């Protein structure tokens, strides 16, 4: 029976890839001591300043935090934006342009509601989502009643959706376009010209560009361009554009739950009003730790060095197998295992034969109108462990699949 057959429509729209993976592997014993490469959870990168800062602010767990965050956090975020994207230095106002988030996921989800409210439509609103995609985007569309419209990207298009191919009628009823760069799962980076095109479309049809840039700090040779710096640099305005950033990947702190949204000041104001009644505040001690994390680059550089070392191992161990090509950003391998029965079959084989857990690509994607799931042939492999575990896992994969 296909996975979704017994589920309600909402479950079918938002089913967790990890729940599906657990179901797939139920009852199968791992052939070797397990190594879990299914989850994009950085390991062993906890910055040293975390404990003392947290300890110094413990008493503040006794207070409700302000939804807009403490000034020190918004200032640290704005200072980071200026260092990371020099075009934006001096252009971002901590009062008007940024809001803290409890990790980027809840923001990517809840931002859909003010996006819908700002564009009243007679027809059913649409949300444009890349395919494959981060599942919170589809959850946002499903929960808000908007129509999720999936935009395929293939290796030929650098895994980016073809923005020129979107129907004009669809664009007219679009309230938001999610764009992930560097992308999960393929690690593709949207060039500045592509971002500029997305921004121009958002303005022409008055929708929001939701730039999911939570992997902005995980890159190979060059820092990926950002949506806000492109908007400011090309047009002198941040209208219709917001970025979602996170400490989860940048600082190796997925359990801290801290990120921010920044950009279009009118949208940020509307989002702040909505968040003030509907969304989680960031706890004050977490805000103080976040100030320290956004203000420090050394631990981020160490993280990048670890990921680069892991990709060096992938270059050496995988070579050109499984369609592997070193990605420009993020920390995933997106391997084509069509020759091994496709992603689900290969993930089962790897778990059973050698204890390596990887995520079938189909679980990150939606079936296209032509009946094809663009992730079907693939598995996603998260290179988030230290070099020893990474080498062992990649070696086992090659030994098992050949
Ligand atoms: C593409 C993408 N966006 C957003 C998130 C959410 O991250 P967080 O809520 O930890 O900031 C993730 C987490 O894996 C992700 O892969």
Tokens for 238?
A: 């941040």
What does the pLDDT read at residue 400?
98
Cα 244 to ligand 1 centroid, rounded to whole Å: 9
Residues ≥6 apart with Cβ < 8 Å to 350: 356, 357, 358, 379, 396, 397, 400, 401
Is the pLDDT at 381 greater than 60, yes or no? yes
Cα 214 to ligand 1 centroid, rounded to whole Å: 6
pLDDT tens-place string over residues 281-302: 999 999 999 999 999 999 999 9
Determine the residue of 133, 248, 330 to mutate for testing ligand 1's pocket, defined as the one with the most ligand atoms within 8 A of the Cβ atom. 248
pLDDT tens-place string over residues 103-150: 999 999 999 999 999 999 999 999 999 999 999 999 999 999 999 999
User: Given the structure tokens 């700002």, which residue do they identify?
Assistant: 118
Cα 305 to ligand 1 centroid, rounded to whole Å: 21
Evaluate whether 336 touches 323 at the Cβ level (below 8 Å).
yes
Using pLDDT thresholds of 50, 70 and 90, give the confidence band for residue 8: low
Please state, in angstroms and rounded to a whole number, the distance separating the CA atoms of residues 180 and 173: 21
Is the pLDDT at 5 greater than 60, yes or no? no
Tokens for 170?
A: 């669809």
Query: Which residue has the CA at smallest separation from atom 5 of ligand 1?
Result: 105
Helix (H, G, I), strand (E, B) or coil at 8: coil
Closest to 262 in 3D by CA, of 140, 380, 98, 152: 98
Please state, in angstroms and rounded to a whole number, the distance separating the CA atoms of residues 334 and 322: 9
Using pLDDT thresholds of 50, 70 and 90, give the confidence band for residue 153: confident
CB of 246 within 6 A of ligand 1: the answer is yes
Angle formed by the axes of helices 17-25 and 343-354, nearest 10°: 50
Cα 1 to ligand 1 centroid, rounded to whole Å: 30
Is the pLDDT at 249 greater than 80, yes or no? yes
- pLDDT over 90, % of the chain: 92
CB of 344 within 6 A of ligand 1: the answer is no
User: What mean pLDDT, rounded, does the chain reach?
Assistant: 95
Please state, in angstroms and rounded to a whole number, the distance separating the CA atoms of residues 150 and 347: 25
Evaluate whether 226 touches 216 at the Cβ level (below 8 Å).
yes
Helix (H, G, I), strand (E, B) or coil at 378: strand
User: Judging by DSSP bridges, how do beta strands 359-360 and 35-36 pair with one another?
Assistant: unpaired
Is the pLDDT at 275 greater than 80, yes or no? yes
Helix (H, G, I), strand (E, B) or coil at 174: strand
Is the pLDDT at 10 greater than 50, yes or no? yes
Is the pLDDT at 2 greater than 70, yes or no? no
360: which strand partners?
379
């Amino acid at each position: 029976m296909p996975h979704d057959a017994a589920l309600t429509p909402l479950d079918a729209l938002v089913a967790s890839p990890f729940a599906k993976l657990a179901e797939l592997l139920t009852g199968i014993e791992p052939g070797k001591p397990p190594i879990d490469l299914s989850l994009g959870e950085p390991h062993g990168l906890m910055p040293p300043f975390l404990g003392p800062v947290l300890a110094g602010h413990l008493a503040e767990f006794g207070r409700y935090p302000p939804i807009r965050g403490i000034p020190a956090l918004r200032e640290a975020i704005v200072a980071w934006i200026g260092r990371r994207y020099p075009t934006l230095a001096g252009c971002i106002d901590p009062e008007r342009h940024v809001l803290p988030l409890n990790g980027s996921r809840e923001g990517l989800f809840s931002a859909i509601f003010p996006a819908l409210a700002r564009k009243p439509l007679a027809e059913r609103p649409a949300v444009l989502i890349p395919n494959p995609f981060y599942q919170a985007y589809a959850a946002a569309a499903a929960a808000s009643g908007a129509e999720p419209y999936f935009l395929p990207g293939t290796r030929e298009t650098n895994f980016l959706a073809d923005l020129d191919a979107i129907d004009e009628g669809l664009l007219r009823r679009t309230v938001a376009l999610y764009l992930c760069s560097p992308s999960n799962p393929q690690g593709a980076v949207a060039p500045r010209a592509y971002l500029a095109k997305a921004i121009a479309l958002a303005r022409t049809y008055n929708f929001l560009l939701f730039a999911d840039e939570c992997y902005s700090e995980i890159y190979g040779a060059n820092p990926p361009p950002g949506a806000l710096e492109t908007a400011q640099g090309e047009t002198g305005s941040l209208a219709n554009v917001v970025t979602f950033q996170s400490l989860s990947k940048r600082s190796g702190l997925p359990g801290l739950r801290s990120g921010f949204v920044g950009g279009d000041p009118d949208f940020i104001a509307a989002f702040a009003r909505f968040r003030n009644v509907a969304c989680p505040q960031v706890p004050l001690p977490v805000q103080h730790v976040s100030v320290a994390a956004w203000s420090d680059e050394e631990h981020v550089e160490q993280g990048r060095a670890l990921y680069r070392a892991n990709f060096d191992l992938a270059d050496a161990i995988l070579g050109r197998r499984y369609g592997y090509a070193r990605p420009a950003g993020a920390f995933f391998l997106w391997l084509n295992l069509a020759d091994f029965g496709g992603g689900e079959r290969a993930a089962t084989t790897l778990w059973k034969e050698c204890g390596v857990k990887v995520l079938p690509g189909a679980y990150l994607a939606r079936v296209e109108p032509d009946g094809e799931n663009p992730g079907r042939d693939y598995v996603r492999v998260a290179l988030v462990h230290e070099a020893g575990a990474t080498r062992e896992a990649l070696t086992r994969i090659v030994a098992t699949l050949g």
